[in-house]
Chains A and B, each alone.
Chain A
């Protein structure tokens, strides 16, 4: 089934790239050493033949939309194709909701997904077991069958609830232990498709909001503020944690806050591209009175 999709994907991308629109497509290819998967930039039909599709396609490629060379391509009026799983599509839709890109600028090559696993993971990721987006909600082309859907298992917030259940002191220790390891390489921010600020608050110096040092204090400030910036925006792709070289489960912070927003306001980012983003709207019947 996987290789059917891989073949269909190659054929579709070859067709698109030969047609010249889009003329830049980001998909998955083999690593240089050949045993893993990594992003592949497709510019020619022969590049398309190097595409792969398998359960190692864990990366959320939409992170490239807001970075070079895709961003330049879009700014110049070009279109960019993205091979996207259902979860990745939510990031693209969030970028559209937040008016960072136009729907027309991106050609979504959706792929029906059976779940992906990390390089050393035997099981599919937890987020995949409970994934309701196995078939992307929005796409221009779909690879795979709409009907090939697994039953949803488990609770996507299970890992967060485990921490939440801890007594406060232990919860604090969990996070201070984890975040004291942070080396401030900003891989979490750079991997995040929604961390697209041209100047991150960590880079601002007048005033300097966040301590630059990779000390516990500076690390807490960075991660907590980043999490706040992703409240109601995080689409739970988990790329931040996957990118972290020292295994800090940073996605639990951002997913937690998105969960909070969903619980309080019933808002899920990246579902409907025409929906107003959570932070730029308010309802007349908002339970809080500060906003009215």
Chain B
């Protein structure tokens, strides 16, 4: 059992041991999962950060190679191979990584993502609070779920229990000298208010690509990328070159299927119109990923609902799709 101060001291010790620490920190842009060198800056009383663990594992802009236009060849950009600790992110975000692992490691091994995953310890903070957008339990996870975490920090009264989930997590606790002790009883996980029944959605999607419901179900959507970029599992990317007169770089950046340019080729656009693009989003999460890696690409973190400027609500849409009429 640890107090909050013990926990933050542990994070400080990890920093001393050379871990680059990412944790929830209140900044100008809101509560963000960001690099911090001050354990005191970490906020443990939040529901969720605006951004997700994806920002650490699959950053929104990463340089793959640099080139000199006067010379042949490219230089692969090697990144800092140091160890990373993510502390205080939530179980839903860690579950998102579990889904990304299936896509970005198990199918084809994305070296950069896999490399970061291997040298990062995910120390999730189980939830004792939630908001009306949270629906992780409906997705098969829950406020205290351990999926994707290396260490799970569970609240118990005003103390915390540290539970190693993976070997890497146990190794981390050993290295930091956290003694093994008889585990106390954690608090009961809270009951979420929001539930959604997804038991019928896959079957419905299997046979309803052409349903007229797609035409109106996303009326409110204005085709921005907020829900994609704040989603723990959306991982589509673009590869772009940026160059000056003599030098340049090739970057991998986030991209999203709500933008019409996503599938537009010089002479052909296979996916026309906002309803078709919104359908791709739902299909990708609740059917295509299930077909390909046997996981639904949604963890119920609710960011897409919480941050949509126009009230698009995925739970409502799922209900409307499988519902009558």
**Structural contact, B275 and A68, CB atoms closer than 8 A:** yes
**Structural contact, A185 and B313, CB atoms closer than 8 A:** no
Chain B residues near A45 (CB-CB < 8 A): none
In the assembled complex, the CB of A25 is this many whole angstroms from the nearest CB of chain B, namely 12
**Structural contact, A203 and B253, CB atoms closer than 8 A:** no
List residues of A (134-186) whose CB comes within 8 Å of B's CBs. 177-178, 181, 183-186
Residues A214 and B224 in contact in the complex (CB < 8 Å), given A203-B261, A247-B28? no
- How far, in angstroms, from A207 to B24 measured CA to CA in the complex? 40
- How far, in angstroms, from A244 to B313 measured CA to CA in the complex? 17
Tell me whether B242 is interfacial, beta carbon within 8 Å. Answer: yes
- How far, in angstroms, from A186 to B259 measured CA to CA in the complex? 9
List residues of B (284-325) whose CB comes within 8 Å of A's CBs. 305, 307, 309-311, 313, 315-316
- How far, in angstroms, from A147 to B190 measured CA to CA in the complex? 50
Q: Taking chain A's interface residues, is the majority helix, strand, or loop, or is none over half, making it mixed? A: loop
Tell me whether B60 is interfacial, beta carbon within 8 Å. Answer: yes
- How far, in angstroms, from A37 to B311 measured CA to CA in the complex? 8
**Structural contact, B310 and A39, CB atoms closer than 8 A:** yes
The 0/1 profile, CB within 8 Å of B marked 1, for residues 31-71 of chain A is 11101111101000000000000000001000110011100
**Structural contact, B61 and A191, CB atoms closer than 8 A:** no
Tell me whether B240 is interfacial, beta carbon within 8 Å. Answer: yes
Q: How many residues on chain A are close to B (CB under 8 Å)?
A: 40
Chain B residues near A189 (CB-CB < 8 A): 224
Contact of B309 among A69, A215, A242 (CB under 8 A): A242
**Structural contact, A187 and B225, CB atoms closer than 8 A:** yes
**Structural contact, B253 and A185, CB atoms closer than 8 A:** no
- How far, in angstroms, from A190 to B230 measured CA to CA in the complex? 16
Residues A68 and B220 in contact in the complex (CB < 8 Å), given A33-B194, A213-B61, A247-B30? no
Contact of B254 among A39, A214, A239 (CB under 8 A): A214
Tell me whether A20 is interfacial, beta carbon within 8 Å. Answer: no
Contact of B29 among A59, A67, A211, A248 (CB under 8 A): A248
Can you list 7 pairs linking A and B with CB atoms under 8 Å apart? A32-B313, A183-B229, A183-B254, A190-B223, A191-B222, A212-B242, A215-B251
**Structural contact, B215 and A215, CB atoms closer than 8 A:** no
**Structural contact, B224 and A185, CB atoms closer than 8 A:** yes
**Structural contact, A246 and B222, CB atoms closer than 8 A:** no
The 0/1 profile, CB within 8 Å of B marked 1, for residues 205-219 of chain A is 000000111110010
Tell me whether B228 is interfacial, beta carbon within 8 Å. Answer: yes
**Structural contact, B226 and A32, CB atoms closer than 8 A:** no
Residues A41 and B310 in contact in the complex (CB < 8 Å), given A64-B222, A186-B259, A245-B50? no
**Structural contact, B219 and A191, CB atoms closer than 8 A:** no
Tell me whether A126 is interfacial, beta carbon within 8 Å. Answer: no
> Residues of A with Cβ closer than 8 Å to B?
31-33, 35-39, 41, 59, 63-64, 67-69, 177-178, 181, 183-187, 189-191, 203, 211-215, 218, 239, 242-243, 245-248
Contact of B253 among A63, A68, A191, A214 (CB under 8 A): A214
Tell me whether B238 is interfacial, beta carbon within 8 Å. Answer: yes
In the assembled complex, the CB of A28 is this many whole angstroms from the nearest CB of chain B, namely 10
Contact of A212 among B253, B305, B316 (CB under 8 A): B253
Residues A181 and B220 in contact in the complex (CB < 8 Å), given A33-B133, A246-B50? no
List residues of B (113-147) whose CB comes within 8 Å of A's CBs. 132-133
Q: How many residues on chain B are close to A (CB under 8 Å)?
A: 44
In the assembled complex, the CB of A242 is this many whole angstroms from the nearest CB of chain B, namely 6
- How far, in angstroms, from A212 to B251 measured CA to CA in the complex? 10
Complex A-B, nearest 3 residue pairs according to Cβ-Cβ distance, in ascending order: A38-B311, A185-B225, A243-B309
**Structural contact, A212 and B240, CB atoms closer than 8 A:** yes
In the assembled complex, the CB of A149 is this many whole angstroms from the nearest CB of chain B, namely 28
Tell me whether B279 is interfacial, beta carbon within 8 Å. Answer: no
Residues A178 and B307 in contact in the complex (CB < 8 Å), given A69-B215, A190-B222, A212-B238? no
**Structural contact, B309 and A181, CB atoms closer than 8 A:** no
In the assembled complex, the CB of B57 is this many whole angstroms from the nearest CB of chain A, namely 15
Tell me whether B216 is interfacial, beta carbon within 8 Å. Answer: yes
- How far, in angstroms, from A81 to B55 measured CA to CA in the complex? 41
Chain B residues near A191 (CB-CB < 8 A): 222, 224, 309-310
**Structural contact, B229 and A245, CB atoms closer than 8 A:** yes
A248's nearest neighbour on chain B, judged by CB, is B29
- How far, in angstroms, from A248 to B32 measured CA to CA in the complex? 14
Chain A residues near B28 (CB-CB < 8 A): 177-178, 181, 247
Tell me whether B273 is interfacial, beta carbon within 8 Å. Answer: yes
- How far, in angstroms, from A245 to B132 measured CA to CA in the complex? 18
**Structural contact, A245 and B223, CB atoms closer than 8 A:** no
Chain B residues near A38 (CB-CB < 8 A): 220, 310-311
- How far, in angstroms, from A273 to B61 measured CA to CA in the complex? 43
Tell me whether B274 is interfacial, beta carbon within 8 Å. Answer: yes
Contact of A39 among B225, B228, B256, B311 (CB under 8 A): B311
- How far, in angstroms, from A197 to B287 measured CA to CA in the complex? 33
**Structural contact, A33 and B223, CB atoms closer than 8 A:** no
B261's nearest neighbour on chain A, judged by CB, is A203
**Structural contact, A63 and B222, CB atoms closer than 8 A:** yes
Interface centre among B32, B223, B316 (most CB of A within 10 A): B223
Residues A246 and B29 in contact in the complex (CB < 8 Å), given A32-B316, A41-B219, A41-B220? yes
**Structural contact, B253 and A67, CB atoms closer than 8 A:** no
Contact of B224 among A186, A212, A213 (CB under 8 A): A186
- How far, in angstroms, from A212 to B275 measured CA to CA in the complex? 25
**Structural contact, B226 and A243, CB atoms closer than 8 A:** yes
**Structural contact, A185 and B226, CB atoms closer than 8 A:** yes
